[in-house]
Structure 1
Amino acid sequence: MKKDNGLYWLLLAIVVFIIDIASKFYILDRFELFETVNLLPFFSITYVRNIGAAFSIFEGQRVMLAAIALVISAVIVYMLYRNNRSQKLENLSLSMILGGALGNLFDRLYHGFVVDFLDVNFGNWHYPTFNIADCAICVGIGLFIISSYKKPKKKP
């Protein structure tokens, strides 16, 4: 087993997972379903349940979504294992995606739905409610795309 692999970055995935789960349990403990607290004119905390995936697609497909999350998580762990620890941007991105995927997977398996609560809107425009795991996944994907352009070119 190579010692200089990216598995060290699993610590970040664990941190993302813990923050996500803690925030969701806080919402479950303090909010009624659909309860809203306005924090800014364009941002509120609103407790909703998502039984699908992003933007409620695949609604009611809990087993399929859990299986996809498990496969993606296994692939990410393998990628971290194959990476060097020094591939910071790619490992950061993979860890964020993994932590978010595991957070939403936990919700699906434990609650039967994903707890969403971050609510953004401007006037009549309303973005679908999301959570910290979703943020980590989106930022992670963005960073992964950036990291794919920053890879050193191999010499012929």
Structure 2
Amino acid sequence: MAAALATDFVTKWLILNIVMVPPRTIEVAPFFNLTLGFNTGVSFGMFQEIFLDRPLLLAGISIAISAGFLVWAMRSPRPSDTIGLGLIAGGAMGNVLDRMRQGAVTDFLDFHLGGWHFPAFNMADTVITIGALLLIAGSLWSPGSTAPAEKRPSRAAQ
């Protein structure tokens, strides 16, 4: 969690205080730009109209969800789940800090194909996605997993 939070904090600080002074679009590759944006909604800017004037409400919801992920991480026996949940919680807390500090999340990674642009995002969103992929992978390819209860022989049959 700490590494995810630190990565997000440092990259956003660099973007806001060095790279995007003045704000502009920087073409890094034919499919990737650095561009400064601020998201007052949830993922991909959804529900902006609801949370525009209530950034602390969204921050509070995110804190509660992050706490749930941390409890889950502490109770999980699988290292992949613990790491994945820690990444999700750390990324979420990075975005919470933005909301509390400036009322919106700083986004700057802009991938595009021709004129179509994927919604801009940040390192917090990246580690959240990696964490979710670890959870999915861990649930699909868990070593030593047992068969579902209905397929295991019963104690009486042994």
Measured against the shorter chain, the TM-score band is 0.7 to 0.9
3-state SS, counterpart of residue 72 of structure 2: helix
What is the CA-CA distance between 1:34 and the residue it aligns to?
Answer: 4.9
Distance 2:22 2:133 in 1: 31
- Which of 109, 121, 124 is 2:112 aligned to? 121
2:85 matched to 1:97?
A: no
Aligned residues: 142
Unaligned runs of 5+ in 2: 153-158
Number of the residue aligned with 1:147: 138
2:47 matched to 1:83?
A: no
Number of the residue aligned with 2:12: 24
3-state SS, counterpart of residue 41 of structure 2: coil
Distance 2:137 2:91 in 1: 19
Number of the residue aligned with 1:36: 25
Conserved 8 A contact 2:73-2:83: no
Ranked by relative contact order (alpha carbons within 8 Å, sequence separation 6 or more), the top structure is 1
Conserved 8 A contact 1:32-1:47: no
Q: Which has the larger radius of gyration?
A: 2
Using the size of structure 2 for normalisation, the TM-score is 0.83
**Aligned ranges 1:63-82 → 2 under 5 Å:** 63-82=56-75
Distance 2:110 2:13 in 1: 17
Aligned Cα RMSD in Å? 1.6
Using the size of structure 1 for normalisation, the TM-score is 0.84
What is the CA-CA distance between 1:21 and the residue it aligns to?
Answer: 0.7
Conserved 8 A contact 1:120-1:126: yes
